Amino acid sequence: MMIALTGTPGCGKSTVAEILRDRGWTVIRQNDTTGHYELEKDADRDTVVIDEEMWAEEFVPFEGIIEGHLTHLIPANRVVILRCRPDILAGRLRERGYGPEKVSENAEAEALDVILVEALEIHPASRICEIDTTGKSPEETAGAIEAFIHGECPNPCTHVDWSAYLGITTWE
């Protein structure tokens, strides 16, 4: 079974992936699989643009967890979307040194459910689990992911609603 661990940058994917790796799961980072698909470097947004469609089409499935903010685009058996309250997310991204425009872009994407909407276009809701990491420790989040993988999550696609954060013009 292949599990996509996704979410907006700053939601805790990498931290939780390390815990899952320490617990014996095979974990591959998305960025370790996309090099061949790089189209350009976007200096204005401080990011690398990849051919997402080609990457998703050619991705070779494996048994384990693939971690990254685009992994919901591949044909995984289950999709875990980590969520974080947009104002908290903005603070985490500022701590990483993200510029105001990139902080705003990611906080707004989180408030708009961008990753969930994209995931639902590809995967049935029964295979998607949203986990709000705002008040959870990384260990608790890892435990919730393991429960979902083992089918112990009774209502996997519980909608996290950050719509109250829409329209915020500054994420300071």
87-125: pLDDT as tens digits: 999 999 999 999 888 899 999 999 999 999 999 999 999
User: Per-residue pLDDT tens for 119-172?
Assistant: 999 999 989 999 999 999 999 999 999 999 998 865 556 678 888 878 765 656
CATH number corresponding to 2-85+112-160: 3.40.50.300
pLDDT value at 68 more than 90: yes
> Is the pLDDT score of 83 beyond 80?
yes
Given a cut of 70, whether residue 34 has pLDDT beyond it is yes
The pTM assigned to this predicted structure is 0.92
CB 4 within 8 A of CB 72: yes
| Domain regions of the chain by residue span | 2-85+112-160
Residue 168: predicted pLDDT? 66
Q: What is the pLDDT of residue 101?
A: 87
Tell me the average pLDDT across 30-49.
88
Report the distance separating Cα 48 and Cα 41, nearest Å: 4
